[in-house]
Amino acid sequence: MSTGKPASLPDSQPYERVCKRKRTSKMDADFDFTGPTKKTLRTRGINRHKFFNGSTNSKSKSRRQLLKSIPLKISPPKPCIRLETRYFHRGIWYQIGDIVSLIDIEGGEYYAQIRTFIIDSHEDAHVVLTWLVPTVEATRGKFEASKYVIGMEEDVPRRIECVAFYAHCPSDYFRPVDSPYTVGSWAPPESV
């Protein structure tokens, strides 16, 4: 004996059904379950179109949104440096081998030879130096190339603003004469 009501409810209380669309309480007797059902015009989760890969579109796009392009994220610039053989600074072309002077905080003047130029990604120039050590015959405050010998090679680059141009000089000028190595004698090993 099925009356269309759940068995757990007593017969004295009519079964109430909550209509989700209008949020009203209706009785079972108010619904006509025998007639044809009317399709709703609103799309539901089941009826949404699917893309080719099978995923559903969570956001519908308007015509205006379809014409807009998605902006690309710009990656940060890669830190890169380049080595140069010459560099133009304050109206002077500096070259590898040039003699430059540096002044320390106490006012002492020191001389060095440029080994290379390093240009960073912000176009800031740095120089790598080889220090020139004075001999006993050198006079203070006056530079004569014959009275200086090659000294320590510095690995830390200095900003080009720290040095002042003194003279052009070949890069192998201070190389010892009796050295078994020449400037261009090294060749990389051949790969097999």
Share of the chain above pLDDT 70, in %: 58
Asked if 119 and 81 count as a contact pair (C-beta separation under 8 A), the reply is yes
All structural domains of the chain: 82-167 (2.30.30.490)
| pLDDT above 60: residue 95 | yes
Tokens 């009519």, located at residue: 14
pLDDT band at 32; cut points 50, 70, 90: low
Tokens 């090679």, located at residue: 153
Give the dihedral of Cα atoms 36, 37, 39, 43; nearest 10 deg.
Answer: -150
Asked if 129 and 151 count as a contact pair (C-beta separation under 8 A), the reply is no
pLDDT tens readout for residues 148-172: 888 888 888 999 999 999 888 887 7
The mean pLDDT value of the chain amounts to: 74
Asked if 140 and 131 count as a contact pair (C-beta separation under 8 A), the reply is no
Per the model's pLDDT, the better-predicted residue between 173 and 84 turns out to be 84
Distance CA 63, CA 61 (A): 7
pLDDT band at 45; cut points 50, 70, 90: low
Tokens 């940060």, located at residue: 76
Which three-class secondary structure state does DSSP give residue 162? Answer: helix
pLDDT band at 126; cut points 50, 70, 90: very high
Distance CA 117, CA 87 (A): 7
Cβ atoms < 10 Å from Cβ of 96: 19
Structure tokens belonging to residue 14:
């009519």
The length of the chain in residues reads 192
Q: What is the mean pLDDT of residues 133-150?
A: 84
| pLDDT above 70: residue 46 | no
Which three-class secondary structure state does DSSP give residue 66? Answer: helix
pLDDT tens readout for residues 49-94: 555 555 555 566 666 777 777 788 888 777 788 888 899 988 989 9
| pLDDT above 60: residue 16 | no
Structure tokens belonging to residue 112:
């060095």
Query: What pLDDT, on the 0 to 100 scale, is given for residue 186?
Result: 47
| pLDDT above 70: residue 118 | yes
Tell me the C-alpha to C-alpha distance, in Å, between residue 160 and each of 84, 140, 171: 13, 24, 18
pTM: 0.51
